[in-house]
Amino acid sequence: MEEMNTENNWREEQNFTLVVRKPCFGLPTACPSCLPLYLYLKFAQLPFHLDFCSIYPDSDQIPYIESGDYVAYNNENGGVIESLKKDGIADLDAEFKSVPEWISTKAMVSSWLGDAIMYELWVGSDGSSAKKIYYPDLPWPIGKVLFWKQSQTVMLQLGITKDNAEQKEEEIYNRAKIAYEALSNRLGEEDFLFENRPSSVDAIFLAHVLLILQALPETSVLRNALLEHGNLVKYAEKHKMEQIEAGSSSSSVPQFQSGPSSSAPRKGPSNWSSKPKSKSKREKTKEEKTFRKRAKYFVVAQLVSVLLFLTFMNRSDDEVELDDDDGYGYDD
């Protein structure tokens, strides 16, 4: 017991900072990659400060968590949650790793429901929700091009083409409905999906439900399918109140900042140090300087993309007009 208390005191002494995309739709962050991590840290009762990064909106390093020389990125080692578990910082899944049903449920939530939310954000809608989540501070033309580029990427990832678009859409929605039914039966009237205590599956699924209910329009197919399961809606509302809305102590509630992150991603040691380190003022690392330099060129690069995109579209329109003129040349 004394050893456990010592570990808890050590965790509280660390100055953890979670860097995510900006808040919107009444959520601390509406990014499908960031919100599950936020909820995982809350379930793990790991104190942290919340910070926002908007200077590089399409970075796959976001979200990331840092403390002193330690940093864990979204695009490394299977993601931040896996890094936290491996490094012994926060592991909610230790007792579930050998449970077949837990493993299959996590796979279903991560794949079927993960595909469904990405489809609705980037392919099955007008993109208004995605733009508010990822590009709220960018000029409209740049946001338009970035949305188009990402929608093409998502279609490629999901294997969607012009020939199979309707079939793929039906398949994605059918899988999501099956998943909702299975998860509704699994949850019942309990507070969590397994053994009435939180795991990473709860963090991932809860984030999905909150995004569906708050970030997608009333016409959303996923939203209407989810609303058929009252216990899932109740589950989301309960945990939203407890983990996002309730509480005011600094040990459990992150401190929100209105500006972008004051610290850029940086490399740290591969292993977590067992002793706390005092954080002192230091010079910017090479990785920080590189990150900020890339950020300066980001807007310029996207402006070039806009110009190329508009040029391509104008040329396409001209070719269509020429073809139309040729087609009517012999009707007189």
In a domain, 291, yes or no: no
In a domain, 308, yes or no: no
Q: Give the distance, in angstroms, between the CA of residue 24 and the centroid of all CA atoms in the same chain.
A: 13
Across 277-294, average pLDDT: 48
Show Cβ contacts of residue 200 under 8 Å, excluding neighbours closer than 6 positions: 36, 40, 81, 92, 93, 106
Distances (CA, A) of 125 to 37, 83, 216, 221: 25, 34, 9, 10
In a domain, 130, yes or no: yes
Show Cβ contacts of residue 238 under 8 Å, excluding neighbours closer than 6 positions: 191
User: What pLDDT is recorded for position 14?
Assistant: 74
In a domain, 9, yes or no: yes
CATH number of the structural domain spanning residue 110? 1.20.1050.10
Q: Annotate 51-89 with b (16+ C-beta within 10 A) or e (fewer).
A: bbbbbbbebebbbbbbbbebbbbbeebebbbebbbebeb
The secondary structure of residue 88, as a DSSP letter, is T
Higher confidence at residue 246 or residue 264?
246
Per-residue pLDDT reduced to its tens digit, 169-205? 999 999 999 999 999 999 999 999 999 999 999 999 9
The secondary structure of residue 156, as a DSSP letter, is H
Tell me the longest C-alpha to C-alpha distance in the chain: 97
Q: Taking a C-beta distance cutoff of 8 angstroms, is the pair 35, 211 a contact?
A: yes
In a domain, 298, yes or no: no
Higher confidence at residue 268 or residue 226?
226
The residue type of 105 is T
Confidence of residue 304 (pLDDT cuts 50, 70, 90): low
Confidence of residue 59 (pLDDT cuts 50, 70, 90): confident
Q: From CA 115, how far away is CA 173, in angstroms rounded?
A: 9
Q: Which of 58-72, 104-118, 241-255 has the lowest mean pLDDT?
A: 241-255
In a domain, 115, yes or no: yes
Q: Taking a C-beta distance cutoff of 8 angstroms, is the pair 124, 223 a contact?
A: no
In a domain, 61, yes or no: yes
User: What pLDDT is recorded for position 200?
Assistant: 98
Query: 3-class secondary structure for 240-283?
Result: HHHHHHCCCCCCCCCCCCCCECCCCCCCCCCCCCCCCCCCCCCC
Query: How many residues would you count in the chain?
Result: 332
Higher confidence at residue 55 or residue 293?
55
User: What pLDDT is recorded for position 246?
Assistant: 75
* Predicted TM-score (pTM) of this structure: 0.75
Query: Chain-wide mean pLDDT for the chain?
Result: 80
Q: How many domains does the chain have?
A: 1
In a domain, 330, yes or no: no
Q: How buried is 288 (Cβ within 10 angstroms: 0-12 exposed, 13-18 middle, 19+ buried)?
A: middle
Higher confidence at residue 140 or residue 8?
140
Q: Which of 11-15, 86-90, 99-103, 148-152 has the lowest mean pLDDT?
A: 11-15
Across 5-31, average pLDDT: 80
Domain that holds residue 262: 2-285
